[in-house]
Structures are given as structure tokens and as C-alpha cells.
Structure 1
Amino acid sequence: MNNSRQPAFIYTYAYNEAERSLCHLEMRSFFDKDTETKILKSFIKIDPSRSPFMKGRLEVLAEGDKVEEIISQAPNFGSEKETNKVIFLKINDRQGKDKVENAERLRIERAIGSDMQGNFDLQNPDQLFAVVPFEGRWYFGLYTKSEPIWFNHMKKPREYSTALSTRVARAVANIAVPHPKGIQAIDPCCGIGTVLVEALSMGIDIVGRDINPLVCEGSRENIAYFGLTGDVRKSAIEDIEEMYDVAIIDLPYNLYTNASWEDQFTILKHARRIAKKVVIVTIESMDDRLNTVGLHITDRCITKKQQFTREIVVCQ
């Protein structure tokens, strides 16, 4: 049995094909890599409830070449003062002819759980543990389920039909600020605050600005409705003087208004001026325009909503 000295984490994902590109960009933002297997190992610790695509996180306590190595170490885990439950993660890279069938999964769960310290409680355990095969090895550890916090934000007092969906807004906030400590962010065209609500609910330090006083009022109402506190003020982007680590810009202008390239140029030019990193949501390709204002694309993805496609572009 080889116990890892450096904390390691295994994350499992669930997404459909339409969400794949967005989810993979979020993965790369968190971990600097992505995967098609929907299971990923990293030494980076992320709260799984941040992502709309994560199912959960296993904090590795033990690993081995065979599951028997995990079972033999079961008495070392758990506590006599707490109840526990062990689950076999169904999302793993053992698929096809190598798939671990249900009967074997149940056997492994029982073998580990029955030998652990404390009582085994299937309904309401004090501690939840998980076991999973991944890349030819077996891993066991504490398991944290993802809570769909974003789902509670879907119904807002103020809504626009053109606003980003809550899931997309949450992913965009993660892409912009994957590691919030010490990062100051701004949404200078915040609208009714869909991105702000998601970012603030994850503890991201972000402020909102918009040239329209009515949408600023709507944004403040939405933020307060979910018990959050945020700084939202009326301001044109060209009047913003403070510097930020990252700016998030949603640019659905040409589809719904008569905003010209000059208007977009102004927004992009000043976004580059006030932020070191800029994440842009657009309904049209604008690589040449971004280059014109000195924004260099470092990553990108697409996301679909009903009849049209948005592109999310990360720039430095």
C-alpha cells in the first residue's frame, strides 16, 4: 500500500455533448488540463459545489494497485465516535469490457465499510467515503458531493430573456476566477447581475457596473434576493479608473441592439485598460477585433442556448 504524502483529489463530472466545450474550458481553468473520461486527478483542491458540472470530489487517503490493498487498510479509517458509509464511484475509467459490475461494486463497498472503525450507516452517515479505480490504480478517501447551489438562482425577481443561463454564468465566473484568493474582478456591463450572483455566491471578490441605471437597480435586487452583498453602480466603462485582475464582459450586442463596432471597440479597449485578464462572451467571432485592441486569446470554448451559439474567449 502506498499512501500519498501530497494531498491528491479525484473529481468526477457529468455533462452532455452541448456542454462539453464549456465544461472542458472550466476544467482547464481549474486544473490546467481536461479529460474526456469525466474523471480527473489533481493536487489542486476545488469545492465541487462551485462547478455546475462536477458530481463530487474524493480526497485521497489511500491508494494501491489492487482493491484488496484498500480493503486491508480499512481498519485504519473512520472513527468509533462517527458513523460512515462507503460508495463506489460509478463515474470511472473502467468502461466497456473492463467495467466493474454492480455486484462487484456492492461487494467492495461492504468489504471496506464493514472493516472500518465506527458503525456503517447507509442512510445518514457522519462521514461519507468513496472508492474508485482510475488509471490502473485504486483510490479511497473522503467524499464530498456537489450541491447544485446554482439551481437555486434560476428564478430571479428581475430577468432578461437574453441573459446567460445560470449554469453558463457560473462556469464563466469559474473560468474568469478559478482561484479567488487575492483576486479582484469586475463585470463592467453587468446587466441584471446573472454573473455577479454566481460569482458572489462562490466568494469571488467582484463588483458590477453598467451604463443603464435600471439594470443596475435590477442587479442589486437580484443580489439582495439571494442574501448576497455586492457593489453595483451606474458607470460607463470608459469612466472606470480602478484596476482589476480580471474583467468579465458579456457582449450580446449585435443580436439585440444596434450597437456598432465602435461601441464594442470602446468596451474592449477599456476592458484591456482596466484588467490584466479579460473573459469575453460573444455571439460572433471577433478574433481580429480583439487583436486590434491588443487582447491576446489564451483559451476559448463555445456554448449553445436554443437557436444560437455563444463563444467564451479568455484573453490576456
Structure 2
Amino acid sequence: MKHAFEVENKEFIYTYVRQVDEHDLCRLEMRAFFGFDSPSNVIKSRLEIDPSRSPFMKERLEVLFSGSGLDEIIEQASAFVSHKRFKVTCLNSIALDSTAKLRQPERRSIEREIGEVIQGEADLFEPEVHFGIVMLEGVWYFGILQESEPIWRFHMQKPHMYSTALSTRVARAVANIAVPHPEGIRAIDPCCGIGTVLVEARSMCIDIVGRDINPLVCHGSRKNLAHFGLEGEVVKGPISEVTDTYDAAIIDMPYNLFTHITAEGQQDILKDARRITSRLIVVTIEPMDHMILEAGFTIVDRCVAKKGTFERQIVVCE
């Protein structure tokens, strides 16, 4: 008999939901997480990513077994033992790449067929473990399902906000692009403003510190972190005073429309960033490629994040 968690050589299936305007940003985050580009809304990988990290991931299926037909899945499920109360959900409620969605009656029928043969206690309302079944390009996959929690939504209402700050959704994606795999990585947001990126990064346990020259926004950033029960260092001062080095840095440049910073000031920030990090994510509303290159970075990836007619460039530099 197979136990629910006896799995070797794990494989995961991730499904995505994104708006048209978010497509490029989502793909850039995908590339950061998985190391390859895909236009699809479903990805298979051996990398284990918490689906709640991404503002675009819908769910993650940890594959336990697969089959070319539903009968094969039913046969394997009949030898499967769940020692916890369980629920089965069919993931084909949306079109997944070239695989068309299944109508609700068909999905419910599949869920019942699988649930009836699993040895254990089914519980549709308070399951202890959630199983998923999905068909992709003619192959069926069964496994442990983890649905994404939209944690970023809870961060939308901060005690301190201003209109020019990144949206929590974009900020979360930017944090993931900068630090896709946080273990052992130290990061800095040296122009952190009100702390939108800091909140998202710290909520994902990314080791990041904040800094800003404005004492009022530093205070607001600390208050925002504390409001969500998050810890994080926020220091008042310019990037030029940073003496430590970091594995990654995030610099949001849109503030230049609302202050009197000069092109020379922007260039100085980028040069200081090159001094303290080898990986930089620049968020800007105007072209800065020449400045980035002059600072000594190479542009390795990029996208445009859109919101209506407003656009921001997300530039990955190393």
C-alpha cells in the first residue's frame, strides 16, 4: 500500500492565473523561479516553490503518480492509503495550455470516482490533506494539492501609503525576481520609500534590509512592517553610506518624478549599487539602460509591468 507522502524524485505542477497586463511580469517571475521561459499558464518542475509566494500562481500539485488514462489513475488510487481526512479536486476548471477545461459535471464525477477508491476518510469541508487530479496533454496526474493564499492582498491597506508606490502585487513579484531562492541570500532595498517591497519580501522570509534618505518614509516603513507583525531593519541614510555587500538589491526609481533628483544623482545611486551588490533589480518609468551599463552592470533580463496606460520597466542587472 502506498502512503500519501512516500514520494521519491518529486515533481511539481504549477498553474497560473494572470491578467493580460500582467503576462510579461508573470513570465519574468517564472524565469527567475524556474530558470526557463514559458508562455504557458502551467509549468512542470522538480523545484519546490511555495505557491503563496507568487501573486500569479493558482496552485501547486506535488505529483504522486500519473497515467495515460483515468482508469490507470483509479487503479493506482485504489491501492492508495490516506491516514488523514481527505478531499479530491480536479484542476481542469480552466484551460491549461493546450488542454481545454472540463465542464463542472465531468470534474465532479472524476473527483467522486477517485475519492471513492482511496482507502481513508473523505471530508469535503474540513480535510486534513487536499489531493488534486489534473489532465495535461493527454496524461493524468494525481498528487497533493496546495492552493495559493493571496497574502499580498492583506498588505494592500497599510497604515502609511502614498500613490506613487508600487502595488503590492508588483512589489511581491519584484521581490521574487530579485531573490527567487532565499536560502543564504542577503538583500537590500536602499531606496525603500514606504516599504512596499520590504513588506512583501519579509512576509516571504527574505533576508532584506531597507534604507532611505527621508526620515518620514523610514518611519512609515517601520510602522508598515510592524503593522503586519514583520521584523526588518530600516536605516535612514543614502546608499552612498552603505558599507556592507549584498547578494541582491532592489531600487525603485519612479520617485525621480516627484523629487528634484538629477540624472547625475540617479547615476550615483546606480554606481553605489554596483559597489554593494552583483545583482540588481531596477524599477523605472523611464529608459535607464545607458546609466545601468555605465554603472558597470549587464542587463540580463527585463519586462514591462503595465497598469492601464501606465508602464514600469523591471530590469534585471548583474
Give the TM-score category using the shorter length. over 0.9
Q: Helix, strand or coil: the match of 2:247? A: strand
Query: Which residue of 2 is the match for residue 149 of structure 1?
Result: 151
**4+ residue runs of structure 1 moved beyond 6 angstroms?**
none
Query: Which residue of 2 is the match for residue 119 of structure 1?
Result: 121
Q: Percent identity?
A: 57
Of residues 113-122 and 44-53 in structure 1, the stretch that sits farther from structure 2 once superposed is: 113-122
Q: Helix, strand or coil: the match of 1:280? A: strand
Query: Within 1, Cα distance between the matches of 2:197 and 2:285?
Result: 17
Aligned-partner residue type, residue 71 of structure 2: E
Aligned length: 312
* Match runs of 1:229-244 below 5 Å: 229-244=231-246
Query: Within 1, Cα distance between the matches of 2:317 and 2:206?
Result: 19
CA contact (8 A) 1:94 1:100 kept: no
Q: Helix, strand or coil: the match of 1:276? A: coil
CA contact (8 A) 1:92 1:132 kept: no
Aligned-partner residue type, residue 13 of structure 2: I
How far 1:88 sits from its partner (Å)?
Answer: 0.6
Q: Helix, strand or coil: the match of 1:207? A: strand
Among 96, 102, 106, the residue aligned to 2:104: 102
Among 180, 183, 186, the residue aligned to 1:181: 183
Aligned-partner residue type, residue 15 of structure 1: R
Query: Within 2, Cα distance between the matches of 1:104 and 1:220?
Result: 50
* Match runs of 1:47-66 below 5 Å: 47-66=50-69
Q: Helix, strand or coil: the match of 2:279? A: strand
Query: Within 1, Cα distance between the matches of 2:169 and 2:53?
Result: 10
Query: Which residue of 2 is the match for residue 7 of structure 1?
Result: 10
Query: Within 1, Cα distance between the matches of 2:230 and 2:7?
Result: 39
Query: Which residue of 1 is the match for residue 314 of structure 2?
Result: 312
2:168 corresponds to 1:166: yes
Query: Within 2, Cα distance between the matches of 1:301 and 1:21?
Result: 6
* Match runs of 1:282-301 below 5 Å: 282-301=284-303
TM-score, length-scaled by structure 1: 0.95
5+ residue gaps, structure 1, are none
CA contact (8 A) 2:87 2:124 kept: yes
Query: Which residue of 2 is the match for residue 258 of structure 1?
Result: 260
Query: Which residue of 1 is the match for residue 3 of structure 2?
Result: none
How far 1:94 sits from its partner (Å)?
Answer: 6.8
TM-score, length-scaled by structure 2: 0.94
Query: Within 2, Cα distance between the matches of 1:37 and 1:106?
Result: 25
Deviations 1:54-86 (A, max 9, x none): 11100000011112111111123342x422111
Among 33, 45, 49, the residue aligned to 1:46: 49
Query: Within 1, Cα distance between the matches of 2:309 and 2:163?
Result: 13
5+ residue gaps, structure 2, are 1-5
CA contact (8 A) 2:14 2:44 kept: yes
How far 1:92 sits from its partner (Å)?
Answer: 4.8
**CA spacing shift, 1:99–1:305, aligned 2, 3 Å:** closer
Q: Helix, strand or coil: the match of 2:300? A: strand
Query: Within 2, Cα distance between the matches of 1:26 and 1:191?
Result: 23
Q: Helix, strand or coil: the match of 1:179? A: coil
Query: Within 2, Cα distance between the matches of 1:302 and 1:78?
Result: 47
CA RMSD of superposed structures (Å)? 1.6
CA contact (8 A) 2:94 2:101 kept: no
